[in-house]
Amino acid sequence: MESIISVSSLKKSFKSNHVLNDVSFKIPKGSVFALLGSNGAGKTTIVKILSTLLKPDGGSALICGYDVVRQGDYVRGCISLTGQFAAVDEVLTGRENLKLIGQLKRLPDGKNKVDEWLRFFDLEDAANRQVSTYSGGMRRRLDIAMSLMDSPQVLFLDEPTTGLDPQNRIAMWDLVKGLVSEGTTVFLTTQYLEEAEYLADNIAILHGGKIIAEGTTEELRKLLPPAKKEYIEKQPSLEEVFLALIGEKKEGGHHE
């Protein structure tokens, strides 16, 4: 299948902190890709490089066939980003934030879209209040809505459900499924492994600056033998696979 994102040998260091050493992966069009990794593994760094916010030190990344470094304008035209930290204007109201994005993206039916997303994320009552008065989850929902004002080809979601209540998390999952069925490709990072398990077609685990494992949940499960000494044979959960994999790679006997 055709890849809409293809990353090869990506490198990035912050001074002497070598965050990404050699990261490569491909994402088929219309699929959900989940990137897992511990805090500080470099997930957000990858998202920033792919969304043209940060320049890599080496390697290359193509999105929709465009190079993220040399053809940033084209890349920005086909992606939408929901970063790890809400990127909303605190002084404006929720409605004004959405309207602003509609205007900047020159949507012909901006007004309808604004109403549609306010309704979807249950923000109608708060629509005319300044965002500085919003709760963390409301801010997050507005942030996601702003990224969805026009249907992007590629959607980046950096820990989108962190801070959302279970109800809104499920709504968000349904939304992602819906977007993907319409052809959007979703790049997701998350700390909730059941989220990755439920949504993702492909999962990659980032550790030590490299992708140490990649595949479907089923393929990753095969990396660990089923737990043996139990009454009933139990498949390892993705969480167990994850911990085993990164534990294995932590050298020097540091780990608990």
Ligand X SMILES: Nc1ncnc2c1ncn2[C@@H]1O[C@H](COP(=O)(O)OP(=O)(O)OP(=O)(O)O)[C@@H](O)[C@H]1O
Stretch of residues binding other proteins (CB under 8 A), selected from 13-21, 72-80, 189-197, 238-246: 72-80
In whole angstroms, give the CA distance from residue 175 to residue 172: 5
CB of 5 to other proteins, least distance (A): 15
Toward Mg ion, which CB reaches closer, 75 or 188?
188
Is residue 88 within 8 A of residue 142, CB to CB? The reply is yes
Selected binder of Mg ion within 9, 84, 235, 237 (CB under 5 A): 84
Stretch of residues binding ligand X (CB under 6 A), selected from 32-40, 140-148, 178-186, 219-227: 32-40
Query: Can residue 16 be called a binding residue for ligand X (CB under 6 A)?
Result: no
Q: Where are the beta strands (DSSP E) in 15-55?
A: 17-28, 32-36
What residue type is assigned to position 231 of the chain?
A: Y
Selected binder of other proteins within 64, 127, 171, 245 (CB under 8 A): 64
Torsion angle of the four alpha carbons 159, 160, 166, 167, in this order, in degrees rounded to the nearest 10: -170
Helices of type H across 200-256: 217-221, 238-249
Query: Can residue 2 be called a binding residue for other proteins (CB under 8 A)?
Result: no
Q: Please, what is the Cα angle at 109 between 104 and 115, to 5 degrees?
A: 95
Q: Please, what is the Cα angle at 177 between 141 and 173, to 5 degrees?
A: 40
CB of 130 to ligand X, least distance (A): 27
Query: Can residue 84 be called a binding residue for ligand X (CB under 6 A)?
Result: yes
Q: Among other proteins, ligand X, Mg ion, none, what does residue 71 contact (CB within 5–8 Å per kind)?
A: other proteins
Distances from the Cα of 16 to the Cαs of 12, 13, 48, 60, in angstroms?
A: 10, 7, 19, 21
- Name the phi and psi angles at 24, rounded to 5: -135, 140
Stretch of residues binding ligand X (CB under 6 A), selected from 37-45, 70-78, 172-180, 223-231: 37-45
Query: Can residue 212 be called a binding residue for other proteins (CB under 8 A)?
Result: no
Is residue 54 within 8 A of residue 47, CB to CB? The reply is no
Site for ligand X in 39-58 (CB under 6 A): 39-45
Site for other proteins in 3-62 (CB under 8 A): 51-55
Q: With contacts defined by CB under 6 A, how many residues of the chain interact with ligand X?
A: 12
Site for other proteins in 87-146 (CB under 8 A): 87-92, 96, 100-101, 103-106, 130, 146
